[in-house]
Chain A
Amino acid sequence: MRNLICLLIFIPSLLFAQQEKVIEGKVIDAKLQMPIVGASVYVSSAIIGNETNTKGVIQGSMLGTTTNFDGEFSLKIGTDIKFIMVSYMGYETEKVDVSSITGNISIALKESLESLQEVVLTGYQKIEKRKMTSAYAKVDMEDINQAGVASVDQMLVGQLAGVVIQPTSGGPGAPAKISIRGTATLNGSSDPLWVLDGIPLEGNDIPQDFRDKDNIDNLQSYPIAGLNPEDIESITVLKDASATSIYGARAANGVIVVTSKKGKKGAMRVNVNANVFVTQKPDFSKLNLMDSSQKVDFELFLAGRSDLNYQQDRGGVARILNNYGEYNNYRDNGFASISTNAQNEINNLKNTNTNWGDELYQMAVNQQYGVSISGGNDNNDYYFSVGLFDEKGATKGTGQKRYNITLKDNFKINDKLKVGVALFGSQNKTSSYITGADAYTNPSYYARNANPYLQIKDENGNYVYDPDLVERSDLNLDYNILEERENTNYDLVSSSLKAIFDVDYQLNDDIHFTTQLGLQLDFDKTEKFSDEASYYTRKYEQRSQYLTGSGVSYYMPKGGIIQNWDADAFQYNWKTTANYNTSFNDIHELDVMLGTEFRRNDRTEIHAKGFGYNSNTLTTVPITDERALTNALFETYNKTYSENAYASFFGTASYTYNKKYTVFGSLRYDGSNLFGVNPKYRYLPIWSFAGSWNVYKEDFMDNMDAISDLKLRASYGVQGNIDKSTSPFVIGEYYNTSILPGVSEEIIRALNAPNGNLRWEKTTSSNIGLDLGLLNNKIYISGDYYSRKSTDLIGLRSVPLESGYNFINTNWATVSNDGFELSINTTNINTPNFKWTSGLNISHNKSIVDDIEIREEDFKPSLKGYSVNAIFAIKTAGLDSNGLPLFWKDGNKVSAVEFYNLEAGTNGSQLTREEHRNLYSYVGDGTPKFSGGFRNNFKYKQFDLRVLTNFNIKQTVKTTPSYNMALAQPGNNYNTDILKAGTGNYPALIGLNSPGFDTDLVYTWFNSSDDGQTYNDLDIWVKDISYLRVSSIKLSYAVAKSKLEKLNLSSLSFNIEGRNLFVVGTDYDGFFDPETYGSLYAQPIPRIISAGFNLSF
């Protein structure tokens, strides 16, 4: 097709050509003598222009083809053409004299030395790898692409040394939390900066605490979510200061540079891929919940114990016993003594098993398609693609559907001027379930608590409401999870357009200018709808309750509730650079860049609410009652707007001597909105310097045959960040107030304490690294050791109240991160038929909070001297003879009474907060000690097998207790742990009158007085986990080229893949996944089997 177009364009010149001839030949690798597939064979327009001297007529056109699977090509050219060009990525382009050739030729391409020294794209510059002085990690999308994964962040898990990625939930659209080289902040976001083809992306931060029940169910769009992984060529992670400092203050957490695919020189190539993936229903039995028989027996056990009377009226057994008036009879005389009818009903209960796993989770068949068209010639390359990703989650009611369209085109206007345009458009619709202020309506949570004998629908198909899900003992708002799903909706539709316009002007061989304008538009529309017949609406209505003379009434209109959040974000980023790259005397190389960058973004959010919503007429009913005016829950309209501007100036310089020694320096000044900013900190200087020594190039290395590459790197840099909420000026915020009746006034409230002494947060990083290639680079090792110290971290510090404030933002904390990263890539076997390569990466990061202020009222100890994610727990010492927990205090085993200093009437105040803090001991680090991944690729003839794994070693996790010894009640279902209560380390269930010394005190404490909730912090709930997850096993089969030729295809492969098939490691009983161990709210990480094909022609 492409050839045809070229030919048509070329016709005029053909008319002038006296004759034409056919050149046939084969392109091979000069060293291996193997055919090169897909090499471009073409007549350069420049050559034609020169040769035919008909400039202007033919310029911009090109005649060419690409080699087939056997490296063969056939090209018809005019006889006056003397040269053809043969090029292939990674090889030096050959200019072949064909003036005297008429038949078959063999063209051998030599591997390009330049390409051995691959190029690293930093987003600002292309730096040859040999000149690279900083720590980075790069991965090609080809190697990590997985079917059934919507977003690239999840594919990166375990792929890059030092980049720790943890999925937050298995729900569609859930983000993965990324931290690069630990956490450099205590209260800010630790998200890295995502950069797409040079444009830093704006977007929501991932919530700090993703175990929080509200955060986990909140749909949000994230900067990277709209991007189709199929459009990505490679990903480079910039880790140390010398690499990231060019990005300025925003890059303190590292930078992930995404390079998108672009067209390759040669004929048009159409690529089609299609996958069907089946999301498996999660294994509900992993939760270890009691079944109906166990649960009924448990309830009978509770009912039989007069001391365990906490909420004793709840649960099916108590209801039956109370119905028959036989509760006391049962308790006193046992099961045999109660009436046969009651016995039968209870026995029936045992046989009613609702499989909550089946009701809440599903197996879903999903699909994913992509088509791309790409190609190019000397003057133009293009890449167009469309994609569809459609996923229904394993949790019923969740899903994600994304459409992508990408258009990229690069033009060479003349020898000096190049222009590129790229458009990335997407619409991503994420659906989830609605949850209210309470966690009940989170399916994962509800599934753990709902009684296994509870029916969902009765014989007539009516919803059965959960009698045990009550607001208060006298208020049941009728919850049924199916009704809730049926009558509520929660969707987020994110539409995103990213547009990039590049201009590159080459002034002469040494100097070129670039300018790049990037636009990013994001429209997020969130809608929450709950119909009148839903628990959510009923619960909302309660908030409008008021007393009337005759009882209670509600001012919320009857009908549904509709809530919309529309966020509209825009940014532009315009950067311009001047570059000077030169070399002289063959031993000096100098690269200098100077640039400016201007960035502006704004964001408007509108939140609207309507009550009495009718989904047929789409109308709402206004609230007329005055009481609603003071209730923020019934505020019907709310708008926020924010705008930011940034101006930056930067420069880098790099000098290389004799291709062995490179020094590099960079400096950037970042300026941002001036409003309220201390004038001395308007422009932040961020700088770094680095050096590398290419040891391998030294003469003394000549004799060491085993070593094929050796390079040492070192860098040091300083990065800064200023807290923009703190100002030396008194900044006010407008509000309204009414001091006396009848007068409402605008007021200006001081926003923050002014603080002119606030210094910027400063992170100094140093890095030393080693790159070592052995045995002809069959083994390639990269290792880095780094140390980051973040000083003057901004946090709250208490100040004398006389100043007018309790706390001010101040430079208070200091955090250090030290660690190493190691990646080893090996080619284990390489024969023509069988090839096995592996990649292992492992990293370790240790953070220490060197200094920090804590609030006096804190229950938990200060982090000072511990890791940022330190876990503190209360050390228990087994159980006493009555099953009450014992504790360690000063080396002695003591009872809870002594440990907590309990007395009659104790209400929690017997311990000062300091004493309370001293109850805790440090038990471990919440950050894994080691994490990484291991990749293996096997290639046997036409088969490819790829196994991706990732691992975490020794991570301390505090799980949510499976039961509370003083709050266990018959209305909830529990993990079977509760059946072991009183044995091992599991505390016995107790009531006020349970046996034991001072049990009443212990009961009151754990039941209601323990404000610091120390029960959740007992060390029995803390566990060290280590695991290795096999994230993907993919088998593909490439159809032999001989068969394809007949079909006129250039490649066809079939693949099957299993994702998240299994995990090995310490057990994570009671939870779906080790990643979300301890979270009651997380959706299971889906296990996916996919099958698909990839076709090119």
Chain B
Amino acid sequence: MKNIIYITFIALSFISCDDYLDIEPVGQVIPESVDEYRSFLTSAYSIAKDHKVLTTYRTDELALSSTALGVEQYEDLFIWNDDNPSPLTRVFPYASLYNTIFYTNHIINSEATIKGDLLEKEQLIGEAYALRAMQYFELVNLYAKPYNKSTANTDTAVPITIEYDAEKNYPVETVEAVYTLILNDIEQAEALLNIDKQDLGYNYRFSKVAIKAFKARVYLYQQEWQKAINAANEALAIHADLQNLNTDVSIMPSEYNAVESILALETIANFDMVNNTTISSDLVDAYNQTEDLRFSLYFNQNTDGSFSSNKSAETKFKISFRTAELHLIIAESLAELDEGDLAKEALIAFAENRYTVAGWDAFKTKVNALSGDSLTNEILEERRREFAIEGQRWNDLRRTTQPKLTKIFNGVIYTLQQNDTRYVIPFPSDAIINNPNL
């Protein structure tokens, strides 16, 4: 009997308690390997990135009827009623952007401990930097004034978090600080990313070409014209294809599998937008309906004569960057740098892919007659036509002239004045409740 007791005690001392208690629950994991972190990052990419649906309601691209289904959710966005919106109004995302940042922060800060192939790991961390930069870029363009070099140091933007901490204070940082972070992250990403172009279906992930395209847009918003041109050219060196609509209208150039696609990440339309709004007459009028090949591709005419967007909530319409933008960034930047001829050349070369032959001839004539501001305006108009319902318009309005907009809703005229403070979206109430510093 004593032997049994001895054996029991000896056996017990051999079973380490920690081993006994070390149970990995099925379906749960603490990420360690690069593969696990890849799945973790995919999770961050998969968090809804659909705020551009809402900014589009604030632009001049849509018309909204007061009797449309579900109008309660959008009317206050549409008429820029930020002061006392209906509680049903769709709320701009804030938490989901920071949630994405949480994921990227965790990957970036775990660099030292991620196990696996070095190249895969660098690509992964590079993507995390790029995705983080992108989230801050979206935040600063939703909730802060557009970048203005002279005031960026004092203009308030959004809080910055680069590591998880629920206990600390989150004061708002300046626009300059946020842009500095964005450019830093882009630089890190450029150094780490090693895939030129992502394969189809995975092109929601950042690649070398995507980070360059992103950089070009950041510099464009900062009005760093030459840097924007350089970045755009770096991107075009990797991937420059444009879809010529004269030969191929089987697909829209913004679709994830079109030749122009560089990064297909953000959702730009939803069910209500497609079914319960129409395209504003302003936007419709911006096109030459017969000669501009984009018009019938982008829009669908309803029985009452109005138009609706063909770009929809389907995942194939996800888009963030495509080559067309690079060409237009170059044209715009050249115009701003007073390189009018080069700008016209770039614009006309691009337009060849968008207009019928006759239309292109007319466009050439029109553009060649322009100079100075009128040229810049035409380039911006071309941007408007090219990126209709792609979530670019609101930011383009903001970063350029912040023009006066007027809308009619339910028989009432609403106006967004030039340089209106409502070009900055107020922080959502859940953000303010949770962070008294906002």
Contacts and interface: CB of A to CB of B under 8 A. Distances in A.
A641 B23 CA distance: 12
Contacts of B98: 801-804
Given A801-B94, A801-B435, A802-B435, A676 B30 contact: yes
Contacts of B22: 673-675
Given A748-B29, A908-B87, A802 B159 contact: yes
B42 A800 contact: no
A800 B101 contact: no
A799 B17 contact: no
A803 B102 contact: yes
22 contacts: A640-B26, A643-B25, A643-B26, A645-B20, A672-B21, A675-B22, A675-B25, A675-B30, A682-B21, A739-B204, A740-B202, A741-B256, A747-B43, A748-B36, A750-B40, A750-B106, A800-B159, A801-B98, A804-B105, A805-B99, A805-B102, A907-B87
Contacts of A515: 8
B46 A739 contact: yes
A740 B430 contact: no
B18 interface: yes
Interface in A684-733: 729-733
Contact of A747 (B25, B42, B106, B201): B42
B164 A748 contact: no
A870 to B, nearest CB: 24
A505 interface: yes
A607 B17 CA distance: 34
Contacts of A732: 28-31, 36, 39-40, 43
Interface string B277-316: 0000000000000000000000000000000000000111
Contacts of B118: none
Interface in B169-227: 169-170, 201-204
Interface string A902-913: 000001110000
B28 A731 contact: yes
B81 interface: no
A751 interface: yes
Contacts of A730: 30-31, 106, 164
Chain B: number of interface residues, binned into ranges? 35 or more
A805 B431 CA distance: 11
A743 interface: yes
Given A739-B315, A740-B316, A731 B95 contact: no
A803 B166 contact: yes
B23 A750 contact: no
B86 interface: yes
B103 interface: yes
A671 interface: yes
B159 to A, nearest CB: 5
B133 interface: no
Interface string A800-813: 11111110101000
Contacts of A417: 1
B167 interface: yes
Interface string A572-594: 00001000000000000000000
Contacts of A803: 98, 102, 161, 164-166, 170
A186 interface: no
A598 B170 CA distance: 45
B28 A802 contact: no
B264 interface: yes
A777 interface: no
A765 B21 CA distance: 29
Contact of A806 (B27, B29, B95): B95
A740 to B, nearest CB: 5
B45 interface: yes
A509 interface: no
Contacts of B30: 675-676, 729-732
B358 interface: no
B5 interface: yes
B237 interface: no
Nearest to B203: A740
A471 interface: no
Interface of A: 416-417, 505, 513, 515, 576, 596, 598, 640-647, 671-676, 682, 729-735, 737-743, 745-751, 753-755, 757, 798-806, 808, 810, 856, 907-909
B322 interface: no
Interface in B148-168: 158-159, 161, 164-167
Interface in B341-357: none
A798 B164 CA distance: 15
B23 A800 contact: no
B102 A740 contact: no
Contacts of A576: 8
B53 to A, nearest CB: 17
B87 A808 contact: no
Contacts of B435: 800-802
Given A741-B315, A742-B201, A804-B99, A642 B25 contact: yes
Interface in B89-108: 94-95, 98-99, 101-103, 105-106
B46 A747 contact: yes
A733 B27 CA distance: 6
A748 B159 CA distance: 27
B248 interface: no
A878 to B, nearest CB: 32
A743 B435 CA distance: 38
Contacts of B24: 675
Given A729-B30, A731-B30, A806-B95, A743 B102 contact: no
B318 A740 contact: yes
Nearest to B202: A743
A799 B42 contact: no
B112 interface: no
Contacts of B159: 800, 802
A856 B433 contact: yes
A808 B166 contact: yes
B102 A739 contact: no
Nearest to A642: B25
Contacts of B164: 730, 753-754, 803-804
Contacts of B94: 801
A702 B87 CA distance: 77
Given A675-B24, A804-B105, 13 more contacts: A642-B25, A673-B25, A674-B21, A739-B42, A741-B256, A742-B201, A746-B39, A746-B42, A747-B40, A800-B159, A801-B98, A802-B435, A803-B161
A741 B316 contact: yes
A505 B1 CA distance: 9
A746 B20 CA distance: 30
Q: Chain A CB within 10 Å — which of B25, B159, B161, B201 has the most?
A: B25
A805 B21 contact: no
B361 to A, nearest CB: 38
A675 B94 CA distance: 31
Contacts of B39: 732, 734, 745-748
Interface in B393-438: 430-431, 433-435
Among all A-B residue pairs, the 10 with the closest Cβ atoms: A804-B102, A743-B201, A800-B435, A748-B39, A799-B166, A747-B43, A801-B95, A802-B170, A803-B166, A748-B40
Nearest to B199: A743
B111 to A, nearest CB: 14
B5 A751 contact: no
B10 interface: no
Contacts of A748: 29, 31, 36, 39-40, 42-43
A799 B45 CA distance: 23
Q: Chain B CB within 10 Å — which of A742, A801, A810 has the most?
A: A801
A502 to B, nearest CB: 15
Given A737-B46, A746-B39, A647 B17 contact: yes
B46 A909 contact: no
A134 B411 CA distance: 78
Contacts of A751: 28
B169 to A, nearest CB: 8
Contacts of A642: 25-26
Interface string B36-76: 10011011011000000000000000000000000000000
